[in-house]
């Protein structure tokens, strides 16, 4: 999701474009890795002095509702946020540097989901798939 698109998206849905929100959007947009609310607060606070943590939480919630950022689940700090890339659903997290990339592959899951539905009788509405491992850089470093 491009930075301008996020900002325009907020406006188009009746949200105001405040300095605080622009700062949060910029931080999330620039980050290559997932950020906790605390990290977003710290970084956005550098360009927007006086920014409140409450506002960060509220902004991340709004961006998340609009689908502009994704909330990822981690073992340590449970919640991290990353900007979503268009139409992609799954997160690939590097355990070395915390970089998050997203990948498509919705369709690859379909056969599995259909098989599970047939076998269990559940109707499956949503899924969370996160892969973790080492990115090429960290693999090289690890040797």
Please compute Rg for the chain using Cα positions: 17
User: Shortest approach of a copy of itself to residue 57 CB, angstroms?
Assistant: 14
Residue from 2, 13, 46, 79 in contact with a copy of itself (CB under 8 A): 79
Is the CB of residue 94 less than 8 Å from the CB of residue 130?
Answer: no
Number of Cβ within a 10 Å radius of residue 66 = 16
The DSSP element (H or E) to which 36 belongs, if any, is none
The values of phi and psi at residue 93, to 5°, are: -110, 130
User: Shortest approach of DNA to residue 136 CB, angstroms?
Assistant: 30
User: Shortest approach of DNA to residue 21 CB, angstroms?
Assistant: 5
Is the CB of residue 24 less than 8 Å from the CB of residue 44?
Answer: yes
Residues in contact with DNA by CB under 7 A are 11, 14-21, 36-38, 48, 50-55, 57-59, 61, 77-79
Residues that bind a copy of itself (CB under 8 A): 71, 73, 75, 78-79, 92, 94-95, 101, 103, 105, 108-109, 111-113, 115-116, 119-136, 139
């Amino acid at each position: 999701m491009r930075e301008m698109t996020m900002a325009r998206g907020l406006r188009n849905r009746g949200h105001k474009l405040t300095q605080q929100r622009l700062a949060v959007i910029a931080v999330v947009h620039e980050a290559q890795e997932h950020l906790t609310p605390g990290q977003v607060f710290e970084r956005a606070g550098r360009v927007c002095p006086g920014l409140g943590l409450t506002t960060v939480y509220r902004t991340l919630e709004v961006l998340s509702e609009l689908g502009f950022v994704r909330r990822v689940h981690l073992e340590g700090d449970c919640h991290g946020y990353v900007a979503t890339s268009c139409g992609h659903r799954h997160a690939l997290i590097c355990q070395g540097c915390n970089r998050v990339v997203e990948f498509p592959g919705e369709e690859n899951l379909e056969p599995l989901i259909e098989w599970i539905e047939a076998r269990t009788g559940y109707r499956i509405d949503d899924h969370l798939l996160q892969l973790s491992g080492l990115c090429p850089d960290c693999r090289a470093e690890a040797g």
